[in-house]
Amino acid sequence: MENFEVLQTGNAKPIKMWTKGVPVEDAAKAQLQNIARLPFIYKHVAVMPDVHPGKGSTIGSVIPTKGAIIPAAVGVDIGCGMIAARTSLSADDLPDNLHAWRSAIESAVPHGLTFKGRDKGSWQNPPSNVDAAWAELLPAFETLIDKHRRLKNTNNHKQLGTLGTGNHFIEVCLDEANRVWFMLHSGSRGVGNAIGSYFIELAKKDMQRFFINLPDKDLAYFPEGSEHFKDYVDAVSWAQDFAQKNRALMMQNVVAAIQKIMPKPFAVDEEAVNCHHNYVQRENHFGENVLVTRKGAVAAWPGQMGIIPGSMGARSYIVRGKGEAQAFCSCSHGAGRVMSRSEAKRRFTVDDQIQATQGVECRKDVSVIDEIPMAYKDIDAVMQAQADLVEIVHTLKQVVCVKG
């Protein structure tokens, strides 16, 4: 028996949804139907259980295409994803009060927004490992800005190795055996945003120039072989490299910060995963080479490890892919929002946040109410809906959470 449902789309490509037992908004279904009508969609659109509306295309969708690419489907946080690493520490090694751990992490990794003239989200003077990583990224970036000068003055070097804002986070977690993990969520920061926004606008201009009408202007695309197609693919590839290095650098600095204050020596990377969930790449499916855009989705090839985080205060999962062909070997990237940030701030209070994050050392103030667990879908229902996509390897519960 198939574990997905098919959303009827008339003459458009089918939409296969792994959403049983999970609510899906009408706005998300409408966006999916718009995508399915595009002439270059390959086979069908695959929908993950954390699906919710995004800009142009839904978050939690897998969009295979032949001969075209949609910049807004990739989005502006190009390469956003997760990294997790298990340590040799156990719960018994942790101090009774974890505030010092949270403070050490907050000091080691710039996070947040500009505040009273001080940019908390960037390095003032990047450490040596950030400088070394930027030196590796610089040649390809210089090639990119030679062609697209508007991208020159972006936040890049000083944001490498930094967290950002919104739902980006750093956590200390315990698994089912009370072993200590470090886990974090971030992407390509300001430079990825600039690249995404720039090419989205170029694609819209191309649609106007060639008189191409779309069901949503944010579904503007580059046909393969067109003026900007290769430049966009190269730029996205570079931003994905930036994002992966960004996560690795933060993990290095988090580990170093805790090692400084932890009396007991410990090892890391006993198990480690670093995966994107906003990206595009060429893959082979059903015997054909296609472009696969995962917007809020994780690759889940047979045996491939991935990370599916819950909200702050909920469980997260380290998973192993089952390689479900109908899902284009994918799974969800998290729990998925059930309400907007503004709605969460309107509906919930600081007292609600305190209650929902009991036992977690984290900020409990008005500025993080939009990330309250109740603003997200039930992670257990999400995992049940995709039981044929992944198997759970580890179940994590956070004890420290640093939010951007």
| Digitized pLDDT (tens) for each residue of the chain, 404 residues in all | 578 999 877 889 999 999 999 999 999 999 999 999 999 999 999 999 999 999 878 999 999 999 999 999 999 999 999 999 999 999 999 999 999 999 999 999 999 865 444 567 899 999 999 999 999 999 999 999 999 999 998 989 999 999 998 889 999 999 999 999 999 999 999 999 999 999 999 999 999 999 999 999 999 999 999 999 999 999 999 999 999 999 999 999 999 999 999 999 999 977 779 999 999 999 999 999 999 999 999 999 999 999 999 988 789 999 999 999 999 999 999 999 999 899 999 999 999 999 999 999 999 999 889 999 999 999 999 999 999 999 999 999 999 999 87
Number of domains, the chain: 1
Write down the pLDDT at residue 119.
62
Tokens of 187: 């992407």
Pick from 5, 15, 23: which is nearest to 335 by CA? 23
- Name residues whose C-beta falls within 8 Å of residue 367's C-beta, 6 or more positions apart in sequence: none
333 is catalytic: yes
Residue that has been written with the tokens 């210089």 in this structure: 142
The range of the structural domain enclosing residue 284 comes to: 5-338+376-403
The helix/strand/coil state of 265 is: coil
Locate tokens 């999970």: which residue?
Answer: 22
Residue 362 inside a domain? The answer is: no
Q: Is the dihedral of CA 293, 316, 363, 95 positive or negative?
A: negative
pLDDT at 116: 45
Q: Residue 350 domain-assigned? A: no
In this predicted structure, what is the pLDDT of residue 1?
57
| Distance from C-alpha of 187 to C-alpha of 275, rounded to nearest angstrom | 10
**Residue 353 included in any domain:** no
Q: Report if residue 349 sits inside a domain.
A: no
**Would you say residue 318 lies in a domain?**
yes
- Residue 299: per-residue pLDDT: 98
Write down the catalytic residue from 52, 168, 333, 394.
333
CB 189 within 8 A of CB 246: yes
Domain assignment present for 343: no
User: Which CATH number goes with the domain that contains 92?
Assistant: 3.90.1860.10
Among 8, 5, 30, 28, smallest CA distance to 18 is for: 5
Query: pLDDT at position 114, please?
Result: 52
* Domain annotation covers residue 368: no
Pairwise CA distance, residues 127 & 106, whole Å = 15
Token output for 37: 């009508």
Best CA proximity match to 291, nearest among 114, 81, 64, 138: 64
- Domain membership flag for residue 229: yes
Model pLDDT, residue 117: 46
Residue 390 is predicted with a pLDDT of 98
Tell me how long the chain is: 404
The type of residue at 108 is A
